[in-house]
Amino acid sequence: MMKPLHILVVDDKKVIGDYFNLTLGHYGHHISVAHDLPQALDAVKKEGFDIAFMDMMMPGVNGVKVLEEIKALVPGLPVVMMSGFILDDMRTRAQSLGAVDFLKKPFEVDDIRRVVKNVIGHEI
């Protein structure tokens, strides 16, 4: 088996973090969940992640702003943006800040697996 990944999930909805834990945690990957900007920044400062999945629309803060803050701290961290709907201007801004891919909600575990393989070349 490949080395387990350390994955950061930033989403205000608990069900999204639970989904990552249920699906990827089952395969031995370590999932850290942050529900807001301070939690996300705290996690990034304390832990090393292989990849991050971030919601684009959270109460009180735009996911693109979170992306900007995280990239300032850890420029090399691959970040995948997630949203039920993705506005072109937000997508363009996220890409310019270094977002590596986008997942449209709702998504399946196969979508996550495909993105991880495409982004970091790691089968999960």
In a domain, 101, yes or no: yes
Q: Is residue 105 part of a domain?
A: yes
Query: What is the rounded distance in angstroms from the CA atom of residue 15 to the CA atom of residue 66?
Result: 20
Task: Give the global pTM.
Answer: 0.92
Q: How many domains does the chain have?
A: 1
User: Could you report the per-residue pLDDT of 8-58, keeping only the tens digit for each?
Assistant: 999 999 999 999 999 988 889 999 999 988 999 999 999 999 999 999 888
**Domain containing residue 69: CATH number:** 3.40.50.2300
In a domain, 122, yes or no: no
Cβ(80)–Cβ(52) below 8 Å: yes
Any domain includes 123: no
For residue 61, CA distances in Å to 54, 95, 109, 118, 120 come to: 12, 18, 26, 28, 27
Whether residue 1 lies inside any domain: the answer is no
* pLDDT tens by residue, 57-115: 888 888 788 899 999 999 999 999 998 876 778 788 888 989 999 998 999 999 999 99
The C-alpha atoms of residue 32 and residue 20 are separated, in whole angstroms, by 9
Q: Is residue 58 part of a domain?
A: yes
User: 77 is in which domain, residue-wise?
Assistant: 6-116
- 121 falls within a domain: no
- Give exposure, 6-43, as e/b (b: 16+ Cβ within 10 Å): ebbbbbbeeebbebbbebbeeeebebbbbbbbeebbeb
